[in-house]
């Protein structure tokens, strides 16, 4: 029975996540942006923002396997 729940969870997209999970992802986005800003004294643009979105995507992928990179990248921008 536990296996059935596990399979069901793997089918989730970003939209299917709970609000608390989305808030944690938003916090992660904010922290990564702040870290970049502290290091470079500017906000990430272009390739740098894609790189940060890729790091965030890896985190999202762990809890919502069907989430797409484009979806996470749009949320980050």
pLDDT at residue 40, as a whole number: 93
Distances (CA, A) of 17 to 54, 63, 64: 19, 8, 7
pLDDT at residue 28, as a whole number: 87
Helix axes 19-40, 69-76, angle to 10 degrees: 60
Range list of H helices, the chain: 2-10, 19-40, 47-63, 69-76
Q: Domain residue spans in the chain?
A: 2-76
> Mind listing the pLDDT tens digit for each residue in 10-56?
567 778 788 888 888 888 889 999 999 999 999 999 899 999 999 88
pLDDT at residue 42, as a whole number: 93
pLDDT at residue 63, as a whole number: 77
pLDDT at residue 7, as a whole number: 41
Check if the beta carbon of residue 61 is closer than 8 Å to that of residue 67.
yes
């Amino acid at each position: 029975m536990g296996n059935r729940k596990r399979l069901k969870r793997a089918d989730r997209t970003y939209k299917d996540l709970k609000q608390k999970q989305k808030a944690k992802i938003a916090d992660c986005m904010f922290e990564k942006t702040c870290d970049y800003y502290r290091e470079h004294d500017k906000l990430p643009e272009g390739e740098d923002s894609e790189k940060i979105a890729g790091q965030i995507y890896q985190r999202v992928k762990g809890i919502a396997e069907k989430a797409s990179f484009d979806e996470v990248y749009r949320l980050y921008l």
